[in-house]
Structure 1
Amino acid sequence: MVSFLQLFSSHVPRWLQVLLAEKFFNACIVHEEAKKNEKNIFCLDCCISICTHCFHPHCSHKLLQIRRYVYHDVIRLDDATKLMDCSFVQSYITNGAKVIFINQRPQTRQFRGSGNFCTVCDRSLQDPYLFCSLSCKVNYLLRTEDGLSKFLFECNYLPLNDSGLDDGLVTPDSVLEPSCSTRTSSGSGGYEEVWCRALASTATTMEVVRKKRTTLTVCRPTCPAVSEVSGSLMNRRKKTPQRAPLY
Structure 2
Amino acid sequence: MRSLPIWLQALLSEKFFNACVVHEDAKKNEKNIFCFDCSLGICPHCLSSHSSHKLLQIRRYVYHDVIRLDDATKLIDCAFVQSYTTNSAKVVFLKQRPQTRNFRGSSCNLCSTCDRSLQDPYLFCSVSCKIDYLMKTQGGVSRHLSECNFLPLPEPGWDDGITMTPDSVLVTPVGSNRTSSGSERRAGTEGKQLASTATTEFVEKKRVA
Q: TM-score if structure 2 supplies the norm length?
A: 0.72
Work out whether residues 62 and 157 of structure 1, in 8 Å CA contact, stay in contact via their aligned partners in 2. Answer: no
Match of 2:82 among 85, 90, 97: 90
Determine the structure 2 residue equivalent to 1:25: 17
Distance across 1 between alignment mates of 2:49 and 2:158: 15
Structure 2 SS opposite 1:106: coil
Partner letter of residue 119 of structure 1? S
What runs of 5+ residues in structure 2 fail to find an aligned partner?
Answer: 162-182, 189-209
Distance across 2 between alignment mates of 1:167 and 1:20: 24
How far is 1:187 from its partner? Answer: 5.2
Match of 1:155 among 142, 148, 155: 148
How far is 1:146 from its partner? Answer: 3.8
**Counterpart check, 1:36 vs 2:36:** no
Distance across 2 between alignment mates of 1:59 and 1:164: 20
Work out whether residues 96 and 126 of structure 2, in 8 Å CA contact, stay in contact via their aligned partners in 1. Answer: yes
C-alpha RMSD over aligned residues: 2.2
Determine the structure 2 residue equivalent to 1:66: 58
**Counterpart check, 1:75 vs 2:67:** yes
Determine the structure 2 residue equivalent to 1:134: 127
- Indicate the larger mover: 58-67 or 121-130: 58-67
Name the CA shift for 1:44/1:165 in 2 (closer, same or farther; >3 Å).
Answer: farther
- Indicate the larger mover: 59-68 or 90-99: 59-68
Match of 1:53 among 45, 52, 58: 45
Structure 2 SS opposite 1:120: coil
Work out whether residues 36 and 167 of structure 1, in 8 Å CA contact, stay in contact via their aligned partners in 2. Answer: no
Name the CA shift for 1:47/1:119 in 2 (closer, same or farther; >3 Å).
Answer: same
Partner letter of residue 54 of structure 2? K
Q: Alignment identity in percent? A: 70
Determine the structure 2 residue equivalent to 1:113: 106
Name the CA shift for 1:165/1:39 in 2 (closer, same or farther; >3 Å).
Answer: farther
Name the CA shift for 1:163/1:78 in 2 (closer, same or farther; >3 Å).
Answer: farther
Distance across 2 between alignment mates of 1:165 and 1:90: 21
How many residues in Structure 1 have an aligned counterpart in Structure 2? Answer: 164
Distance across 2 between alignment mates of 1:156 and 1:116: 32
Work out whether residues 41 and 52 of structure 1, in 8 Å CA contact, stay in contact via their aligned partners in 2. Answer: yes
What runs of 5+ residues in structure 1 fail to find an aligned partner?
Answer: 1-6, 169-185, 191-247
User: Any idea what the Cα deviations from partners look like across 1:56-111, whole Å, max 9, x if unmatched?
Assistant: 22222221111112321111000000011000000000000000001111113311
Query: If you compute each CA radius of gyration, which structure gives the higher value, 1 or 2?
Result: 1
Partner letter of residue 135 of structure 2? L
